[in-house]
Structure 1
Amino acid sequence: MSQACGVDFGTSNSTVGWHQSNQPALLPLEQDKLTLPSVVFFNAEDEEVSYGREALANYLAGYEGRLMRSMKSLLGTSLMDGQTEVLGKSIAFRDLLGQFIGELKHRAEVSAGQAFDYAVLGRPVHFIDDNRNADRIAQNTLEDIALDIGFKEVHFQFEPIAAAFDYESRISKEELVLIADIGGGTSDFSLVRLSPQRAHVLDRSADILGNGGIHIGGTDFDKYLSLAHIMPLLGLGGKLSNHTDIPSSYYFNLATWHTINQVYTQKVGRELADVYRDIQNPEYRMRFERLINLVEDRDGHWLAIKAEEAKILLSDHDMVNLQLERLRCKQVSTVCSLTIEQMGLQSAIGHLSVSIANAVSAVIQDAGIRPDQVDTVFFTGGSSGVRGLREQIAAIVPHARKVEGDLFGSIGAGLGLDAARRFA
């Protein structure tokens, strides 16, 4: 029985791959589910910690406490050296990541019925864009955490390369494949030559023609969708009495998963009260009151979940109607609702889509490959389903076959294959 596994610690969801003959590639991590949402909830009422779907359910049920999500986005940033307060105690962000990844390891071991001493960890092509030092620090931090929680030895593999290994296990002839991995925090791309004959070679460096990526992913789509359509309901875009804009920093923090908790401080509460007194327009006073109430109720993560819900629904529908029942103010007693059309999503995230498409073109150009030489585009990552984005990428290689992998599981499965080969 292999004591090696592949760990895909994702911004939004995590998986663990384990390669065994005639067995599923991924281990169940939450009842029968193969993914564990990368979420931790510290329940202040019961002084308990929950993870994944249970954590989200407890938070949405209204329990007092602290929700943490998109923790991977902290790697390589200055925040990683900081602390936050949960259950009345300070905890280092590094320990918070260790707590979640340790839970991921524990659940995988329970599911497999054995210990895992060795692991291949997935990593984005760039943790931090255009900063090699920060990128190195991010990987070293993740390696230290993995060793601290009990792994004896770890290796790293680029996430799109891991997805390539998963796809390679199902093909019958050689292909030049563009792997498009669009996850919660990053979009990564690799050009890889794959074949059944090459699958058993440990050193595949000669088959990797190009790698690239950009620090844009699904949480950024959520953020800009929220800023364009939801945050104006809370006063974004309004004016103060001196005709200057209402400060936008509160809205940007609320729209960004890993900075939501920054608006819950007493200092911000006092600032919001001062701003409210300086708004003369009745409509924007009403909207800003919603913001104050949202912050007082600590419903920022709920609002971010609603933005994510809208993005997901707009992948399959032309229009979505969001019920925003927790947005309240004295002047309006009816439930606040918001209709967002497909064009509204495209307008909000258009600049992100262009940057992602440019990253794809750069990978192909740097590899010295003509677009018409690419045989297949293999899509993976939960955010690759966003409508319009996939079409924009596919248009760069118009002659290539389009294949959709397991959007949430291909990377974990490929990491499991890589771990079995490396630690055989």
Structure 2
Amino acid sequence: MSLACGIDFGTSNSSVGFMADGEPTLVPLEGESVAMPSAIFYPAYGGSLSFGRAAVGLYIDRENGRLFRAIKSILGGSLIHETTAAGGRRVAFTAILGRFLHHLKEKTELRAGRSVESAVLGRPVFFVDDNEAADRVAQDQLAAAAHAQGFKNVLFQYEPIAAALDYERRIEREEIALIADIGGGTSDFSIVKVSPKNRRKIERKDDILANAGVHVGGTDLDYRLSLKQVMPLFGYQTRQRKRPELDLPNGYFHDLAQWHRIAFLYNNKTLEELKQLRAVADEPEKVDRFVRAIDDRAGHRVAGDVEGAKIILSDAATAMIDLAYIDETLHIETSRRLFEETIANECRKLSDCVAHCLKTAGVAAAEVDTVFFTGGSTFIPAIERACLVHTPQAKIVRGDKFASVGVGLTIDSGLKFGSGA
């Protein structure tokens, strides 16, 4: 008999699980870790693919090949239909995304000792903001990718609802909970009635009072910090020497600051265009750094160091972005104050989204018993404050930042498909 699983395919991290003896069991994906970076490394001339931390490690160790991260971000956009050079050939982005899902499926089957043909996949409340048609297309694209990898039955569940199912396991009385799932690519909120007596209910429509989401996540915060403090040192907003009223074209810098766009810069055409920019730049030494980053295929490493500084600033007042591998003089000091100023607009969007969710649910702030946090960005103080501003009296509960959604999706897969499918 085949098995059902729950898959949290995240922008930054992923997990997968199945029900065993009535309990959700997450699959160890790397060693004992049940969460794995959503990353794939294609060796330059073919061969075995690497996933997760191993993929990132090969890239950092300067192995010849291509690293892809944040591949979920392409859903609903035009990039999904394009191909790119990887492993010595042209590969469709749909195939890259599908190959990652296939890896999760293989890991689950190996752990469970059974085939997996059914899945509940997590999805954000909105893949694409303010565009219902593109949002439907994004879900259809993810479903098609899953079907192509051998999943015969595919259902979807909102990620914050999945987190609510995880939270519901630990309560002793009925509550109204605000579920805040702040992930790598999106932030999603749900107002849900949770109760011990409802844990085995398959249909929870009447308990879901409202859902809301916005396309703001950890990768967006990385992007803003990079544009603010790193990209200007690579030529962003640098003037043109002979036309001082104009900056250099900024598209290249935006691409280098975004995880899912970096791979598009690794080609000879971009290198030649950057060298032409250098010739007209008022500060050519800055563009030299950009050229070095592309020539050495160090773009993801730069993005990783920016992300690392962001994480440090959750606990510390200052952090260093050390880019000496690009330029030995490039040591960038940042601060929590500057970071919070940089992401102020993103924080406002989150606060507005929570307010909208409460209004849609018809729930007063005082009626919210608990705010349940999950997702990798929930430990950033400014993000937490933005989510709590409308519910100051609520109890705060923190789930596993990388596993709560996966556990909830696994529970949902058991409810919808049973132990087998």
Is TM more than 0.5 here? Answer: yes
Structure 2 unpaired stretches of 5+: none
User: What corresponds to 2:151 in structure 1?
Assistant: 151
1:401 aligns with 2:395: yes
User: What corresponds to 1:180 in structure 2?
Assistant: 180
Contact 2:2 2:114 in 1 (8 A): no
Contact 1:17 1:414 in 2 (8 A): no
Secondary structure at the counterpart of residue 180 of structure 1 = strand
- Post-superposition offset of 1:287: 1.6
- Post-superposition offset of 1:177: 0.2
- Post-superposition offset of 1:175: 0.5
- Post-superposition offset of 1:265: 2.8
Cα distance in 1 between the residues matched to 2:4 and 2:291: 49
User: What corresponds to 1:317 in structure 2?
Assistant: 316
Match of 1:415 among 409, 413, 419: 409
Letter aligned with residue 302 of structure 1: R
Cα distance in 2 between the residues matched to 1:80 and 1:98: 11
Match of 2:370 among 360, 373, 376: 376
Letter aligned with residue 273 of structure 1: K
User: What corresponds to 2:298 in structure 1?
Assistant: 299
Contact 2:225 2:306 in 1 (8 A): yes
Letter aligned with residue 15 of structure 2: T
> What's the CA shift string for 1:103-124, capped at 9, x where partnerless?
0110121122222221111111
Moved more, 207-216 or 148-157: 148-157
User: What corresponds to 2:261 in structure 1?
Assistant: 259
- Structure 2 length-normalised TM: 0.96
Cα distance change of structure 1 residues 413 and 40 upon mapping to structure 2, 3 Å threshold: same
The total of aligned residue pairs comes to 416
Moved more, 13-22 or 90-99: 13-22
User: What corresponds to 1:120 in structure 2?
Assistant: 120
- Post-superposition offset of 1:161: 0.2
Taking the TM superposition and a 5 Å limit, the aligned residue runs for 1:140-289 are: 140-241=140-241, 242-243=243-244, 244-280=246-282, 284-289=283-288
Cα distance in 2 between the residues matched to 1:213 and 1:403: 20
- Post-superposition offset of 1:74: 0.7
Letter aligned with residue 67 of structure 1: L
> What's the CA shift string for 1:319-374, capped at 9, x where partnerless?
1122212213xxxxx34211111111111111111111111110111111111111
Cα distance in 2 between the residues matched to 1:19 and 1:385: 29
> What's the CA shift string for 1:289-339, capped at 9, x where partnerless?
1111111111111111111111111111111122212213xxxxx342111
Q: How well do the aligned residues superpose, as a CA RMSD in angstroms?
A: 1.4
User: What corresponds to 1:74 in structure 2?
Assistant: 74
> What's the CA shift string for 1:19-44, capped at 9, x where partnerless?
22375631111121101210000122
Cα distance in 2 between the residues matched to 1:222 and 1:212: 23
User: What corresponds to 1:331 in structure 2?
Assistant: none
Contact 2:350 2:386 in 1 (8 A): no
Cα distance in 1 between the residues matched to 2:115 and 2:342: 46
Structure 1 unpaired stretches of 5+: 329-333
Moved more, 106-115 or 91-100: 106-115
Letter aligned with residue 58 of structure 2: N
Secondary structure at the counterpart of residue 102 of structure 1 = helix
- Structure 1 length-normalised TM: 0.95
Contact 2:212 2:353 in 1 (8 A): yes
Letter aligned with residue 345 of structure 2: H
Secondary structure at the counterpart of residue 396 of structure 1 = coil
How high is the sequence identity, in percent, across the aligned residues? 42
Cα distance in 1 between the residues matched to 2:409 and 2:156: 9
Contact 2:176 2:367 in 1 (8 A): yes
Cα distance in 1 between the residues matched to 2:188 and 2:386: 15
Cα distance change of structure 1 residues 2 and 261 upon mapping to structure 2, 3 Å threshold: closer
Contact 1:2 1:420 in 2 (8 A): no
Letter aligned with residue 260 of structure 1: I
Secondary structure at the counterpart of residue 19 of structure 1 = strand
Contact 1:159 1:181 in 2 (8 A): yes
Contact 2:256 2:265 in 1 (8 A): yes
Letter aligned with residue 4 of structure 1: A
Letter aligned with residue 308 of structure 2: E
Cα distance in 2 between the residues matched to 1:25 and 1:170: 16
- Post-superposition offset of 1:237: 2.2
Cα distance change of structure 1 residues 2 and 152 upon mapping to structure 2, 3 Å threshold: closer
Contact 2:24 2:410 in 1 (8 A): no
> What's the CA shift string for 1:383-409, capped at 9, x where partnerless?
111121102211210111011000000
Cα distance in 1 between the residues matched to 2:148 and 2:273: 41
